[in-house]
Amino acid sequence: MSTHPPALPEYALMTHPSRLYSEVPATDWADWQWQLRHAVAAGADLAQQLGLSVHWQRSCAEALRRYPPMATPYYLSLAHSASPDDPILRQCLPHPDELHDAPDARPDPLAEEQSSPVPRLVHRYRDRALFLCCSSCAVRCRHCMRKRHWHDALPPPSAAELAAAVAYLREHREVREVLLSGGDPLTLSDDALGGILDAFAAVPQLEVLRIGTRVPVTLPQRITADLCAMLAQSPKTLWIATHFNHPWELSNEAATAADRLLKAGVPLVNQSVLLRGINDDAETLRLLFTGLLKIKIKPYYLFHGDPVAGTTHFRTGIRKGLEIMDQLRGNTSGLALPAFAIDLPDAGGKIRLEPDCAAGCDSEGAPLFRSYNGNIVPYPN
């Protein structure tokens, strides 16, 4: 059953005063490194912090072991209740359903490892490649497509690993764009991230570097003046793809982080995942997408959940996503509508899906279409 946000005025940014950390000095709270040092990573600590029952700890013991949690104090403070079904906590708390996979669920359903010609580099599409910068994240999202790496400690890339990736790209001049992913690249230090950006800036044919990050959602304090100054100096065009999933994540801190990046000349798009019990209804997504527009982040993709081991309980049917997009069509600004897409298994790539608006033909052969309000309208052929 979906968890709906409370009634709010349109485009409202939701402010979340920290009930859990009311004694923390403001200077500590605003320090991204303090947030990472105090990230909650143990089931007992989560239970104590949120007041969760002993029964919860026992029922989640195996999920905790197999998929260890991690959440910043900031992100936990966005929750509106201490219920494991809260749409914020549901994204970061272990759940026993993580142990019950559908038959098609696999650790690496998109075959990233098979598409990796050199360490850390994934080359699936002809003109784009992906580089894994690290395995660290501010929050381990329970729907993560790379849960298989949670027990790995992938540090920042070595000079040899960067050199191998750069050499491969120099030999494959068809690659015009590199996506920096992980883990989360923005959990790295400025020096480590700057070294990665500099390495790829030396590849002549690269036109765009894109950073995939959830830091504006989970650790907006990381978007510092120094970081933005470094990004602004990039000789390559930079884009950032954020990952907001629920309107409660649109805090004033997140809006400030977005504004800093935009003022540094970095455009922002958002990729959401359709998640059962979190955002699988039209009104929740309408609030999310219009709220993103308010802070100048373009909704780019709404992804159907991948068949990743440990995430089956989050997945909806494909038809559910199409129904939601159909409900949003015509009732939400076109600027606020992302593309609904699935990522085909075994490196099949992304496919955009649209609600079917064709309704046959009339007696004279003119095409008929179903409008946003359900009317059947002929169109001259």
Look at residue 18 in the predicted model and tell me its pLDDT: 59
Q: 124, 260, 286, 315: which one is catalytic?
A: 124
Q: Is the dihedral of CA 113, 118, 121, 127 positive or negative?
A: negative
Say which residues have a Cβ less than 8 Å from residue 65's Cβ, sequence separation at least 6. none
Is 372 known to be catalytic? no
In the chain, the percentage of residues whose pLDDT exceeds 70 is 95
Look at residue 23 in the predicted model and tell me its pLDDT: 84
Q: 60, 133, 134, 137: which one is catalytic?
A: 137
- Which residue numbers belong to the known binding site for [4Fe-4S] cluster? 137, 141, 144
**How is 262-280 classified by DSSP, letter by letter?**
HHTT--EEEEEE--TTTT-
Within the chain, residue ranges assigned H as helices are 26-29, 32-37, 43-50, 54-59, 61-66, 73-77, 159-171, 190-201, 215-218, 225-232, 252-263, 282-294, 318-328
Q: Give Cα 143 distance to the centre of its chain.
A: 10
Q: 60, 133, 134, 141: which one is catalytic?
A: 141
Is 144 known to be catalytic? yes
Distance CA 367, CA 39 (A): 57
The pTM score is 0.91
Distance CA 147, CA 274 (A): 17
Q: 108, 280, 306, 326: which one is catalytic?
A: 306
Fold of 113-356: TIM Barrel (3.20.20)
Q: CATH 3.20.20.70 in the chain, residues?
A: 113-356
Look at residue 5 in the predicted model and tell me its pLDDT: 46
Q: 146, 210, 276, 315: which one is catalytic?
A: 146
Look at residue 7 in the predicted model and tell me its pLDDT: 40
- Which residue numbers belong to the known binding site? 137, 141, 144
For 190, 209, 234, 371, the CA distances from 269, given in Å and listed in that order, are 22, 13, 18, 28
Look at residue 19 in the predicted model and tell me its pLDDT: 66
Q: Using the 8-state DSSP alphabet, how is residue 312 labeled?
A: G
Is 128 known to be catalytic? yes
Region for residue 74 given its phi and psi (left: phi exceeds 0; alpha: psi -120 to 50; beta: otherwise): alpha
Q: Is the dihedral of CA 110, 271, 126, 129 positive or negative?
A: negative
Summarize pLDDT for 306-354 with one digit per residue, the tens: 999 999 999 999 999 999 999 999 889 999 999 999 999 999 999 999 9
Closest CA to 56 of 45, 72, 70, 41: 45
Is 92 known to be catalytic? no
Is 124 known to be catalytic? yes
Say which residues have a Cβ less than 8 Å from residue 97's Cβ, sequence separation at least 6. 312, 313
Is 306 known to be catalytic? yes
Radius of gyration (Cα) for the chain, nearest Å?
A: 21
Say which residues have a Cβ less than 8 Å from residue 186's Cβ, sequence separation at least 6. 193, 211, 213, 215, 219, 222, 223, 227
Q: 92, 133, 144, 228: which one is catalytic?
A: 144
Residues 135-168: b if buried by 16+ CB within 10 A, e if exposed: bbbbbbbbbbbbbbbbeeebebbeeebbebbbeb
Is 101 known to be catalytic? no
Q: 128, 170, 236, 294: which one is catalytic?
A: 128
Is 300 known to be catalytic? no
Q: 21, 125, 168, 372: which one is catalytic?
A: 125
Closest CA to 220 of 255, 272, 195, 244: 255
Summarize pLDDT for 271-298 with one digit per residue, the tens: 999 999 999 999 999 999 999 999 999 9
Is 125 known to be catalytic? yes
Is 228 known to be catalytic? no
Residue 61 has pLDDT above 50, yes or no: yes
Element (H, E) at 368: strand 367-370
Residue 358 has pLDDT above 70, yes or no: yes
